[in-house]
Amino acid sequence: MTHAAPTLSIVCPIHNEEEALPGFFAELLPLLEASGETHEILCINDGSRDASLAVLQSYQQRHPQIRVIDLSRNFGKEAALSCGLDLARGQAVVPIDADLQDPPELIIDMLRVWRQGFDVVLAQRTDRSQDSLLKRKTAEWFYRFHNLISEPPIPPNVGDFRLLDRKVVDALKQLPERRRFMKGLFAWVGFRQATLPYARRVRTAGESKFSGWRLWNFALEGITSFSTAPLRIWAYLGLGIALLAFLFGLFIIGHTLMYGRDLPGYASMITVVLFLGGIQLIGLGMLGEYIGRIFSETKGRPIYIIREPDQDAP
């Protein structure tokens, strides 16, 4: 069934958020109703193993502006977010998580700034005190390192929570990547941007789906998606080690000519060999990251698969 395009689309990827959903809808639905904006809420069930889908469907029955899209399995947040952007029909689109760490009331301010002529309204976290010290520091290091070696830079402390104009969403839909780092893609398309600061809340229910290992892989995905600098680093490192080896060889020749004997040092030789072997393996691993991305892209598999068609899709 086809409906007229709303002014606002809310896109919410869902993965095992059964406990958080009642509070999320209790806060979001009255806010959107009071705004007077025509709206839709797209909930992308990303292979949840709990009762998230059943909870979503129960809310959908009572609130026709809610659209539930059920993916065939867990494809990951980036894929679920891409699905929501593909299906959103609003003139303005706002991705948001269900854990309420990003305050829904900021959406009203985003709409106000959007109507001033900005195509993208970023929500930037000014207070991350609810995060652990390790998480805050690693996030700070990631943004600094990423922006040092990658183009375009991504704004620090800005997540997926933002407002995107329809022209921005249409531009994102033209990008063919399968391995997607959405923060980088948001920055790559550009357009006129404004920033709204906010203090992030404490998660209301459930647990974060991003462990330390997943965050590390996510950061590696972001760096290899938008920079070839790691490959250049190993090339320069190899050149530097080769130069040092050449100079050390000259030193050994000179020492032998002067003193008539070779330098002892089997232990130091083993150390150097193991060090160089480790450097080579790390370089091969980094090269493998890029080859793996090429392999994934050339297969051309879809980013996501919808298990049940969206009945409200045009």
Amino acid residing at 213: W
- Please report, for the chain, the start and end positions of each structural domain, with discontinuous segments joined by +: 8-227+301-308
Looking at domain 8-227+301-308, which of 3.40.1710.10, 3.40.1390.10, 3.90.550.10, 3.50.40.10 is its CATH number? 3.90.550.10
- The per-residue pLDDT for 310 is 57
Using CA atoms, how far residue 151 sits from 123, 128, 185, in Å, is 21, 26, 11
- Spell out the residues 6+ positions from residue 162 whose beta carbon is closer than 8 angstroms to its own: 94, 95, 110, 120, 121, 122, 123, 186
Per-residue pLDDT, 136:
65
Q: What is the pLDDT of residue 1?
A: 45
What pLDDT is stored for residue 15 in this prediction? 86
Query: Residue 265 and residue 260: Cα distance in Å, rounded?
Result: 16
Closest alpha carbon to 115 in 11, 209, 35, 2: 35
- Which pLDDT does position 225 carry in this prediction? 63
Strand (E) positions, 166-228? 193-199
Tokens 């494809």 sit on residue: 75
Can you give the pLDDT at residue 298? 76
Q: How far apart are CA 43 and CA 12, in angstroms?
A: 5
**Mean pLDDT in each 10-residue stretch from start to end of the chain (314 residues)?**
75 86 87 86 88 86 88 85 88 87 87 88 76 64 67 76 89 82 80 83 58 57 62 70 68 67 59 69 72 72 74 51
Helix runs in 36-130, H state only: 52-62, 77-87, 106-114
Cα–Cα distances (Å) from 264 to 82, 248, 255, 269, 302, in that order, read 61, 14, 12, 9, 60
Q: Is the pTM here over 0.75, yes or no?
A: no
Name the strands in the sheet holding 39-45, side by side, starting at the edge strand that comes first in the sequence. 193-199, 120-127, 158-165, 92-95, 8-14, 39-45, 66-71, 306-308
Report the alpha-carbon distance of residue 241 to residue 143 in Å, rounded.
29
Task: Cis check for the bond before 6: say yes or no (omega within 30 of 0).
Answer: no
Tokens representing residue 181 in the block:
């780092």
- From the list 65, 68, 62, the residue with the least C-alpha distance to 43 is 68
CA nearest to 43, candidates 2, 84, 101: 84
Q: Going by DSSP bridges, is the β-strand pair 158-165/120-127 parallel, antiparallel, or unpaired?
A: antiparallel
Angle at 63 between CA 59 and CA 65, to 5 degrees: 115
For the beta carbon of residue 234, count every other beta carbon within 10 angstroms. 17
